[in-house]
Chain A
Amino acid sequence: MTLVTVYLERIGRATLKGVGEMGFAAALLGESLYWLVMGPRRAQTVRASAVVAQMMETGINALAIVAVLSGTIGVMLAIQGIYTLRVFGAESRVTLGVALSVVREFSPLITAIIIAGRTGSALAARIGTMRINQELDALQVMGISPVRFLVVPVLIAMVVMVPCLTIFSDIVALLGAGAYIAGELGLSFGAYVGQVAESIRANDVWHGIGKSAIFAVLITLVGVVNGASVVGGAEGVGRMTTRAVVQAISAIVITDMIFVFLVTR
């Protein structure tokens, strides 16, 4: 075989694997929705305690890191915004730019990236370890759907908590930006809040929340698909966990671009 054929074969295999994984993710989503709707009718409901525990882990336990990074992003945007607008003598308009950037773009993105690193990686590692330890097999032979037992609680918790964290991130980032802008431009904090309220419409907030819900689904599916594909013991778990984070962040950024392209233009 020539070098070209070897590379073509590799590309072909990678493409097939990618398509297979996307199919697996779609099937997972479909099965998760099935259990959400049909679970109660079949007396196999999703455990509320698992959903609450996952919400605590995904949402409440991430508040501190989301606050730190969102506040930092807010201040950074304010600094850059004032610096850029000063060129045109328009620094008084910085609040509009910062508010829209935070609510429509930065908060959903930074929150999703944090959650991909925290919850997405933990999910891939957990499912991968369970696979190696035959815990997934144990669920199957006990007549318990692993999707209903493991995936659906995470999916529900993520779809609820990631948008909530995004709103929290909006508030913290705007407060951070406000603290800097008020000091730098000699504006009262009340006047800053007034400018923010004038700048943001409900549509902008929903734009960010809608995106974050999609990111939540992506992070969950990528984490589960990678975790379920673990082979080769602890090393395999580490490899797939890293892969899950990289893939989730890539998927978030690309989806964000597509979403913005479709909705904003």
Chain B
Amino acid sequence: MSGPVQPSPAIEVRGLVARYGARQILNGLNLDVRCGEIMVIMGGSGSGKSTLLNHLLGLLHPSAGTVRLLGKDINAMGASERQELHRQIGVAFQSGALFSSLSVVDNIMLPLREHTRLDRKTMAIMARLTMEVVGLAGFERLMPAELSGGMIKRAALARAIVMDPKLLFCDEPSAGLDPVVSSQIDELLLRLRDAGMTIVVVTHDLESAFTIADRICILDQGDIIAMGTVDDIRRHRSERVQNLLNRRTEEAVLDVDAYLRRLTGEQD
């Protein structure tokens, strides 16, 4: 007898290789993100997180391998098909990427204006509701330059979710935020997950990752070195994983005296 049919993953990455010139950044990654889960991608600087995210979003073309989003190969589709797929995706960029010439509410309304035939009043109501969800009510008319870092992140998140996407990508959603705002964003992501959204979060923030993740994927030098639930990751035996979790560096401890001697040109 066969078991219950597994639903196909929301994101399916097979043999993903990314190269910048002669430098290989991703070494044939395989990754599945299940529907309705929060997958947190972690890793040190230069581990390939951003490159992986850009491939998942279709912003970079892989040197080899495939990326399937919602069952479709993102690199094998035409421009119009890809635009259609992108309408089912929300992305909150690390910098916010809000359009500086548009007010906060106009930024959030932009996907609605471009992809729906709703009248302006309805769009404004939807945008305001979304702003309330992310805790930005009352700041509609401000321009992005007038917002704090936390508000920019929340506005970017509001714009990413206003179309009620099936897939949500968040790049460092809590970076540079105070703990209160950071935990508010975590809570919001959990609520969105509970509402059925599949979410991929790229973060350095361990506390946030352990709070929200259904599964964690740890990248190091272009390879996935660990993947599993929060408990799996905490118990992982790999030294590299434990170093990352405990924020230990593998580099040799800097010999300050030797460094100063070198700077001043003194011989040992």
Contacts and interface: CB of A to CB of B under 8 A. Distances in A.
Interface stretch (B13-21, B86-94, B229-237): B86-94
Interface stretch (A137-145, A159-167, A200-208): A137-145
A142 B99 contact: no
B83 interface: yes
Interface stretch (B108-116, B127-135, B173-181, B220-228): B108-116
B59 A137 contact: yes
A23 B97 CA distance: 28
B99 A135 contact: yes
Contacts of B95: 133-134
Contacts of B246: none
A8 to B, nearest CB: 21
Contact of B80 (A42, A129, A135, A140): A42
Interface in B54-100: 57-59, 79-80, 82-87, 89, 91, 93-95, 97-100
Nearest to B156: A138
Interface string A148-160: 0100000000000
Contact of A141 (B79, B86, B114, B117): B86
A2 B189 CA distance: 59
A134 B93 contact: yes
B61 to A, nearest CB: 13
B93 A140 contact: no
B111 A137 contact: no
Nearest to B169: A141
Contacts of B117: 43
Contacts of A43: 117
Interface bin, chain B: 20 to 34
Contacts, number: 57
A137 B50 CA distance: 13
Given A134-B95, A137-B97, A143 B59 contact: no
A143 B99 contact: no
A141 B111 contact: no
Number of chain A interface residues as a range: 10 to 19
Interface string B191-225: 00000000000000000000000000000000000
B96 to A, nearest CB: 8
Given A42-B80, A135-B99, A143 B93 contact: no
B91 A143 contact: no
A232 to B, nearest CB: 15
A224 B54 CA distance: 23
B86 A135 contact: no
A84 to B, nearest CB: 49
A143 B84 contact: yes
Contacts of A145: 79, 83
Nearest to B144: A133
Nearest to B114: A144
Nearest to A142: B111
Contacts of A142: 86-87, 91, 110-111, 114
A44 interface: yes
Nearest to A132: B95
A141 B91 contact: yes
26 contacts: A44-B114, A129-B100, A133-B100, A134-B93, A134-B97, A135-B99, A137-B59, A137-B97, A138-B91, A138-B93, A140-B57, A140-B59, A140-B86, A141-B57, A141-B91, A142-B91, A142-B111, A142-B114, A143-B82, A143-B83, A143-B86, A143-B114, A143-B115, A144-B83, A144-B114, A145-B83
Interface of B: 57-59, 79-80, 82-87, 89, 91, 93-95, 97-100, 110-111, 114-115, 117, 169
Task: Give 3 closest A-B pairs by Cβ, nearest first.
Answer: A143-B86, A138-B97, A143-B83
